[in-house]
Chains A and B, each alone.
Chain A
Amino acid sequence: MASSDEKPGPTPVATGDKPTPPGEPTTLSSKILDKGAGMMQSLEPVKEMKQHVCTFALYAHDLSRQIETHHYVGRLNQDVLQCAVYDSDIRKANLIGVEYIISPKLYETLPEEEQKLWHSHAYEIKSGLWVNPGVPQMLEKPELENMACTYGKFWCTWQVDRGDRLPLGAPALMFSPQPVNRGRVRPDLVQRRDEKYKISTEELRESRVDIQEPEIHPNADYWVKHNKGFAVDVKPADMKRLAPFP
């Protein structure tokens, strides 16, 4: 019915070079309603996102498809983070997925089959690809040491880079950049990001040379050893019911 590694069928929605969703501009009355609701509701969980990270990710079924991502990171505790992932940092950015980040201690408790779905962050951080826009290096450095040891699990729900103007298809697993040819990020993507934030990934890499290289668990970054990635299929199935449906 749908697979994360298949292009969706042709429709006006799937075509188009601009991923802006189709639709009318937000009306004034909607804005007023939103503002009103926003004043009466506390939106607590959303306030917990306190870090913006800009980095890159690769599709787990096709490493040549690479995207710049904007993670808005919330912390559950010292060992677990949860991120809302967008395709840019503007107000109308598309919400393209969710990433979870855990410490090595927790990663080790996962069953082997589960561990395969997670990726390491060491290279992404040490190479300078992962940045906290606007945060002075001195401030971010101590936390980067911790982040460099973590593992992430990233599901992409909107494949904006293939031109989908709405979130189509099955969710896709994503992997992190790795220091192996196919895992390296295209220079033009990095350059465009650097120009936008007036930073230099290369300089960041040099400044992070002293970040300790953690030992990466053998089950992470599955494709590196096995030359295989993952896709997700959505298939028709019988629903266990307790009442008629639909």
Chain B
Amino acid sequence: MATSHVDVPGEPTETGTALLETATGTIQGFQPINNIHQHLCAFHFYAHDMTRQVEAHHFCGHLNEDVRQCLIYDSPNKDARLIGIEYIVVESLFLTLPDDEKPLWHSHEFEVKGGYLFMPGVPGMVERQDLKQVCKTYGKVIHFWQDDRGDPLPLGIPQIMMALTRPGQLDENIAKDVEKRFGVSFEEQREQRKDLTGPDHGIHPLANAAGRGLKTELREVDIPPATSMPRVFV
């Protein structure tokens, strides 16, 4: 795996717990989760450090034609860690974002045309129908669990992530490893995706960390004093 596999600490799930969850899993409703219909694999790197690259398994659902939301895991397996979230919007919505917001989003054109973003298990022809659209979108990725640096638990503060924007950025070992494990060839994909096009207005200069980089910081704040909140309550 591209990420360093440190085990998550803790005891194996107890039988009673597992039984209860089988029951709740059957009785309860899971509509928002049932809206997730697609698995996409791509690569992210930290917005302050391109050398730290992460294989990111996205599980995505459409909120509408123009907006998707994805849960990001570190693998496609049952025991995968939930490491982040991505939101994907079409170009017209991206353009409505405040200028302060745009740098937190990244373009998808290169990773789609480059063949690096793919849908495991889906035949190329079907995949390409959707990728035609994804190619023109922008994404906002936030990661919470830095297991690429061996964190056994989600430590620290959220990290804004970026995506591939040109050749030479993706670590070759990571690339080969993913190609082998999923039986894909990025080069072949590239050939077949030649007719895909990126955003109609070109990649916005403020996207992709405004061409520089981003970092997050934690700040302590004073909590506003209790005001006229009702005292009755739970």
Give the interface of A toward B (CB within 8 A).
1-3, 5, 8-14, 21-27, 29-30, 33-38, 40-52, 61-64, 70, 72, 74-80, 82-84, 86, 88-95, 97-98, 100, 102-103, 106, 109-110, 114, 117, 127-129, 132-135, 139-140, 142-143, 146, 153, 155, 157-158, 166-171, 177, 181-182, 184-187, 190, 201-202, 205, 223, 227-246
Contact = CB atoms under 8 A, between A and B. Distances in A.
A171 B158 contact: yes
B42 interface: no
A234 B105 CA distance: 12
30 contacts: A1-B103, A9-B101, A25-B64, A29-B129, A37-B122, A40-B122, A42-B76, A45-B71, A46-B71, A70-B32, A75-B17, A93-B32, A135-B27, A139-B20, A140-B24, A153-B154, A166-B67, A168-B97, A171-B216, A184-B234, A187-B234, A228-B220, A230-B221, A231-B221, A235-B215, A237-B214, A242-B169, A243-B50, A243-B168, A244-B166
Given A37-B119, A91-B32, A153-B154, A62 B223 contact: yes
Nearest to B71: A84
A50 B90 CA distance: 32
Given A13-B98, A240-B50, 12 more contacts: A8-B100, A23-B65, A23-B67, A61-B221, A93-B32, A143-B20, A166-B67, A169-B101, A227-B223, A236-B213, A245-B165, A245-B169
B66 A10 contact: no
B1 interface: no
A243 B126 CA distance: 32
B14 interface: yes
A27 B151 CA distance: 41
B179 interface: no
Contact of A110 (B17, B22, B133, B155): B155
Contact of B80 (A44, A166, A234): A44
Nearest to A180: B226
A237 B213 contact: yes
Contacts of B4: none
B223 A240 contact: no
Contacts of A246: 107, 165-166, 203, 207-209, 211
B213 A239 contact: yes
B208 A168 contact: no
Given A166-B87, A229-B221, A239 B212 contact: yes
B63 A37 contact: no
Contacts of A48: 78
A93 B63 CA distance: 8
Contacts of B233: 184-187, 190
A51 B23 CA distance: 9
Please give me the 5 A-B residue pairs with the lowest Cβ-Cβ distance, nearest first: A239-B213, A23-B66, A79-B10, A50-B25, A9-B98
> Which of B10, B14, B78: most chain A Cβ within 10 A?
B10
Nearest to B217: A233
Interface string B1-23: 00000001111111011001111
A222 to B, nearest CB: 9
Interface residues of B, number: 122
Nearest to A128: B234
A240 B48 contact: yes
A44 B216 CA distance: 31
B217 to A, nearest CB: 5
B146 interface: no
Interface string B33-56: 111111100000001111100000
A153 B196 CA distance: 41
Given A155-B144, A245-B169, A246-B165, A35 B37 contact: yes
A76 B209 contact: no
A235 to B, nearest CB: 6
Given A5-B221, A11-B98, A240-B50, A106 B153 contact: yes
A241 B209 CA distance: 13
Contacts of B153: 80, 100, 102, 106, 110
B156 interface: yes
Contacts of A109: 9
Contact of A78 (B17, B99, B157): B17
Given A51-B21, A93-B31, A240-B48, A40 B121 contact: yes
Contact of A234 (B35, B90, B160): B160
